[in-house]
Amino acid sequence: MARSRSRLTAEIDFDRDGKQHGFIRLPYSVHRSAYGWIPIPVACIKNGDGPRVLLMAGNHGDEYEGQVALGKLIRSLEAEEVCGRIIILPSANFPAAMAGMRTSPLDEGNLNRSFPGDPYGGPTAQIADYIESVLLPQCDFVFDFHSGGSSLTYVPSALMRRPQTPETLGAPVAYLVDAALGDHTLTAAAARAEVRHMSTEIAGGGQVTPTALRIMESGIRRVLTKVEALSGEPPPAAAETRIMQVRGQDYYVYAPDPGLFEPLVELGEEVTAGTPAAIIHPHDTPWREPAIAAFGRAGTVICKRVPGRVERGWAHVFGMGAEARQQPMRTRRAIPSIAAFGTRQAAISTTSSTARTVTTPLFDRTRSSRSRSSTRSSTGSIGTRSSPRCTRSR
């Protein structure tokens, strides 16, 4: 059975040249407004034919860096600078963004766990359906800007599914994840649509810092220039990027008991397998000995929990990335909370010193998962997967 058409409608015309902004209307009937709609902000900047890019932030509403950066980009970027089309969705899960929450207050929906969505579901499922069934089929690239939100903070990182490599953003860390077509993330949605995808985890902690925002803003312009959606030279990279990987639950450290966690290391430090990651203090019975959470792998700490209170099984207090080519490390005590691991992956996998891993640059348009011969419109018709040469409107 063919997939039903989304009930969401855009006030702007994605095929029209120039700079437009307005709302995607999500019908929402409640007691206070029988025929109301939720206004999801959207902008479109188009100049002739060229790469088709979707920029997203606010996939989780409490991740602010991307929302700020894309709002500034909407105000500053003009059509004359663009080749092709850039669609900007700065607060994708708008109800969550307005509430400053990871999930929507309307239906508790986590947008990044809701794909492919449902045109007849709740608000979050309908947003996911619109992104996957309407926006992604019109795009060659999707860039989804996350941070740690209110519960985590990261060494600024880019991430991407194999076999692509995400160093172009210019963040200190870039890590690879497996492309799971069956999961419910935007990463999987992009894989199903055969759209090139990159995401980020830029700082977090429920705040926006000048350093994180500089990395985000310069990184956005770097990737847009790299895919030839912007003219001119890209900004310099904020840092030399280390390529890592994150694979499976054993890359994370989880709280073994409820209590207050005491971290033992800082972000960016190197640890060895078996070193303590966190001390979990039982503040309800403070005379008991605390529990210890330990790292299961050697690597570099890239992620850390922010709130001090934890429950058994709560997600990582820390996250790590381990080098594939193991090098001597300056080792300290490991961190005291839950951790995610990322393993350095140059040409060699983490499980073998000889097995080679093939990676594909994000922007290598000579490699394509599918060849498309017809052109694609805003209704989802299909065009060439390689970004066409820029033909600017005059």
Q: Is 27 helix (H, G, I), strand (E, B) or coil?
A: strand
3-state SS, 285-348, equals CCCCCCEEEECCCCEEEEEEECCCEECCCCCCCEEEECCCCCCCCCECCCCCCCCECCCCCCCE
- What is the pLDDT, as a whole number, of residue 357? 36
- What is the pLDDT, as a whole number, of residue 336? 26
The answer to whether the beta carbons of residues 362 and 203 sit under 8 Å apart is no
| Residue 228 CB coordination number (10 Å) | 17
* Lookup: tokens for 184: 């419910």
pLDDT in tens for each of the 394 residues of the chain?
Answer: 345 589 999 999 999 999 999 999 999 999 999 999 999 999 999 999 999 999 999 999 999 999 999 999 999 999 999 999 999 999 999 999 999 999 999 999 999 999 999 999 999 999 999 999 999 999 999 999 999 999 999 999 998 876 666 678 889 988 887 755 568 999 999 999 999 999 999 999 999 999 999 999 999 999 999 999 998 888 888 778 888 887 777 788 889 999 998 999 899 989 889 989 999 999 999 999 999 999 988 888 889 999 999 998 765 567 766 553 333 333 333 322 223 323 333 221 222 222 233 344 555 544 333 333 333 333 332 233 444 567 776 5
Q: Residue 368: name the closest of 386, 381, 388 by CA.
A: 386
In CATH, the architecture of 9-244 is: 3-Layer(aba) Sandwich (3.40)
Give the list of residues 6+ apart from residue 346 with CB closer than 8 angstroms, or none: 243, 324, 325
Separation CA 145–CA 200 (nearest Å): 5
Q: Is 190 helix (H, G, I), strand (E, B) or coil?
A: helix
For the chain, residues classed under CATH 2.40.50.100 are 246-357
- What is the pLDDT, as a whole number, of residue 279? 95
Omega before 235 within 30 of 0, i.e. cis: no
- Residue whose pair of structure tokens reads 């904020």 in the numeric block: 238
Angle between helices 210-226 and 64-76 (to 10 degrees): 60
Tell me the CATH class for 246-357.
mainly beta
Q: Residue 153: name the closest of 246, 63, 276 by CA.
A: 63
Name residue 164's beta-bridge partners.
360
Q: How many CA atoms lie within 13 A of 18 on its CB side?
A: 5
Q: Residue 94: name the closest of 143, 59, 145, 44 by CA.
A: 59
Separation CA 212–CA 155 (nearest Å): 9
* Lookup: tokens for 205: 């902690």
> What are the residue ranges of helices labelled H in the chain?
64-76, 94-99, 123-130, 186-193, 210-226
- What is the pLDDT, as a whole number, of residue 240? 86
**331 CA to centre of own chain:** 30
The answer to whether the beta carbons of residues 8 and 26 sit under 8 Å apart is yes
For the chain, residues classed under CATH 3.40.630.10 are 9-244
Name the CA radius of gyration of the chain, rounded.
21
pTM confidence score: 0.84
Residue-wise burial string across 90-107, b where 16 or more C-beta atoms lie within 10 A, e elsewhere: bbbbbbbbeeebbbbebe
For 58-151, list the strands marked E by DSSP: 84-89, 141-146
Separation CA 217–CA 205 (nearest Å): 18
The answer to whether the beta carbons of residues 222 and 145 sit under 8 Å apart is no
Separation CA 277–CA 296 (nearest Å): 9
Name residue 294's beta-bridge partners.
276
The answer to whether the beta carbons of residues 293 and 253 sit under 8 Å apart is yes
| Residue 13 CB coordination number (10 Å) | 13
